[in-house]
Structure 1
Amino acid sequence: MKSLTIGLVDLDTSHPGSFVPILRDMGHRVTAVYDTGEVNPPGYAARFAQEHSIETACESLDQMAEQVDAVFISSCNWDVHVDRARPFIEAGVAVFIDKPMAGNRRDLMQLVEWEKQGATITGGSSLRYVPEVREWAGKIAAEDWVYAMAGCAVDEFNYGIHAYTMLQGLLGAGIHEVRHIGTTGQHQIELTWRDGRRGLLNVGKTKRYLPFYANVVAQQEVGYFQVDSSRIYSSMLEAVCPYLAGEAPAPMAMEQLAEVELSAIAAKISIEKEGKPVKLEEVPMEYAGYDGKSFASYYKEMKYPSLKAGKS
């Protein structure tokens, strides 16, 4: 595989630091970082670069776009992902956008449109590529599915998107309608596919961290798995890097990737409308969806508790 020169945009989460050694083991060069400072304090990018032996802490996205073949965008404010990606799309640089890719339909449609225009762009949750999901998705024919349930803890969207991704990974693309069916400790969300198949999600905060898990029911067998978290990132990077390098087709079309976030947005509307079913095509372009800026503020307080209001 072609060796990529890679840049990391926004160092908010643990993902960039986790990706670096895996990418290097795959033969790629991580040569540049850029951080806007929405979550991290001034100077963080330079310190990150030094700690991870990365050559350049860039002063701008345009500077990075001149130096790299591909970028990984990891802003935990998903509302800025389109703006972060734009300079790289315009420069012909391959783009990976970490989950959640966007929190509203307008931004998701921009990502889809860029791919249709020929851009190399992908992203989303790493749970799509884990061996457990791939094994079950590959062994059950569509007509043999009965039901599947997937879930995780922490929150409804930033983490919950992993559960949506697992369910779509198991049953495939084609989610048609979403319905909130109740709350018993977590939100229960039912997804209906165009061919009539259904799946259930459990998402939202719990008393303690829970693993990523799924139950599978088919015509001739049942199964349960918890995801082995030790290979989550490597499984994803092994799947997407050949595409970013221009040596393989996209692991999944952006329109199908965007279906995951769109399903979560439809679920939010269904919750607000007390369980009314919401078709994905009915999600309004102007609906605000999930607020990335507010989440970034919350994440900053969690990452840097000393910076909370009232503390020095």
Structure 2
Amino acid sequence: MKSLRIGFVDLDTSHPGSFIPVLKEMGHELAAAYDGGVIHPSGYAEKFAQEQGIAKVCGTLEEMAELIDVALIHSCDWDLHIERAKPFVEAGKAVFIDKPLAGNVRDLRQIADWAKGGARITGGSSLRNCVEVQEWRALGVPKEDWVYALAGCGVDEFNYGIHAYSMLHGLMGPGVRSARYIGTGGGQRQMELTWEDGRRGVVSVGKTSGYLPFYANVVTQKRSDYIKAENKLLYRSLLETIMPYFSGEEPAPLPVEQLIEIEMSAIAAKLSYEQGGAVVALNEVPEDYAGYDGAAFAVSYKELKYPSAK
């Protein structure tokens, strides 16, 4: 694979540090880092860069755009993703946006519009293409054999819950038509998604008292499978999927119009909950619907990471 110069934008989560060993093994160059200071204190980026062997800490995104081939955006405030991605798209650089891609329809449509305009852009959860999902898809189960599936995880409904939506989407493929809130159990909300061909699946997301793995139960006419993702393989599987696309050696892992269905499903499910369980079609979610608040999540995330910041 062609060696690429990598830039890390916002060092908010554990993902930049987890991606780096895999990127090094793949032969890519750690060219630059930028941190907007939403989560970490001043000086954190310099310390991180020194520890990880990143060549330069940039003061602006425009400065970084001149030094890299690919920007990996890790802002935990997903409402910043469009702002962070824009300088790189305009400079013709490839962009990965970490999960969740965005929390509202307007931002998701901007990502799709960039892709339609020729931008090399992708992102989202590693669960959509984790090894276990790839192995199940390889079974080639016919759609007409489908009975149902349930995917779930703990922690929260969107920042972490998007993994459950992604895992279900990976198993069932694109084509989600609508979402419907169907109830709450054990502190988690259950959301039913319906595909254009009539297949249905359920996600169960929200805070639990203990750790839950990323899991799915899949039932077809001839088999029933319990799938549990191995966390240690997630980032490698993701990077092995996206980096050949960024190097120009492979097509996009999934067309962006289909990729954004995942976040659109979660947003439609939230609106359904607010409407008492009404069926909400993905293409009917208002563009001005607030969706999920990235700034509010970032505040809570910072308080967990730095309790003294409360």
Q: Conserved in 2, the CA contact under 8 Å of 1:176 and 1:279?
A: yes
CA displacement at 1:137 relative to structure 2? 2.0
What is the aligned partner in structure 2 of residue 303 from structure 1?
Answer: 305
Q: Aligned equivalents of 2:143 and 2:61: distance in 1? A: 43
Gaps of 5+ in 2: none
**Letter matched to residue 219 of structure 1:** Q
Once the two structures are superposed, the pairs formed by residues 146-157 of structure 1 within 5 Å of their partners are 146-157=147-158
Residue aligning to 2:288? 286
Amino acid at match of 2:92: G
After superposition, the C-alpha distances for 1:20-61 in whole angstroms (9 at most, x for unaligned) are 111000010111000000111111111110111111010100
Deviation at 1:219, TM superposition (A): 1.2
Is 1:277 aligned to 2:274, yes or no?
no
The structure 1 segments of at least 4 consecutive aligned residues displaced by more than 4 Å after TM superposition are none
C-alpha contact 1:131 1:235 (8 A) present in aligned 2: yes
- Separation of aligned partners in 2, 1:230 and 1:219: 32
CA deviation profile, 1:49-104 (whole Å, cap 9, x unmatched): 01111110101000000000001000000001001000000001000000000000
Q: Distance in 2 between matches of 1:51 and 1:219?
A: 52
Residue aligning to 1:211: 213
Task: Find the residue that maps to 1:190 and give its secondary structure.
Answer: strand
Distance 2:162 2:169 in 1: 11
Task: Report the counterpart of residue 23 of structure 2 in structure 1.
Answer: 23
Alpha-carbon RMSD across the aligned residues, in angstroms, is 0.6
1:202-237 Cα deviation digits (max 9, x unpaired): 100000110000001111111102111110000000
Equivalent position SS for 1:217: strand
- Alpha-carbon distance in 2 for matches of 1:93, 1:141: 39
1:177 is aligned to 178
Amino-acid identity (%): 61
1:146 CA displacement: 1.2
- How many correspondences in the alignment? 308
- Tell me the secondary structure at the aligned position of residue 289 of structure 1: coil
SS at 2:88 equivalent: helix
Q: Which residue number corresponds to residue 135 of structure 1?
A: 135
Do the aligned residues in 2 keep the contact of 1:69 with 1:94 (CA within 8 Å)? yes
1:228 to 213, 227, 230: 230
Aligned to 2:91: 91
For residues 142 and 30 of structure 1, the distance between their equivalents in structure 2, rounded to whole angstroms, comes to: 43
* Aligned equivalent of 2:12: 12
Runs of 5+ consecutive residues of structure 1 not aligned to the other structure = none
Give distance in 2, aligned partners of 1:14 and 1:243. 24
Shift of the alpha carbon at 1:138?
2.6
Specify the code of the residue in structure 2 equivalent to 1:33. Answer: A
Contact residue 243 and residue 251 of structure 1 kept, 8 A: yes
Q: Which residue of structure 2 aligns with residue 265 of structure 1? A: 267
Q: Counterparts of 1:152 and 1:212 in 2: how far apart (Å)? A: 5
Instruction: Assess if the C-alpha contact under 8 Å between 1:137 and 1:172 holds in 2.
Output: no
Per the alignment, residue 196 of structure 1 pairs with: 198
* Structure-2 separation of matches of 1:91 and 1:254: 19
For normalisation by structure 2, the TM-score amounts to 0.98
CA contact (8 A) 1:189 1:267 kept: yes
2:251 to 246, 249, 263: 249
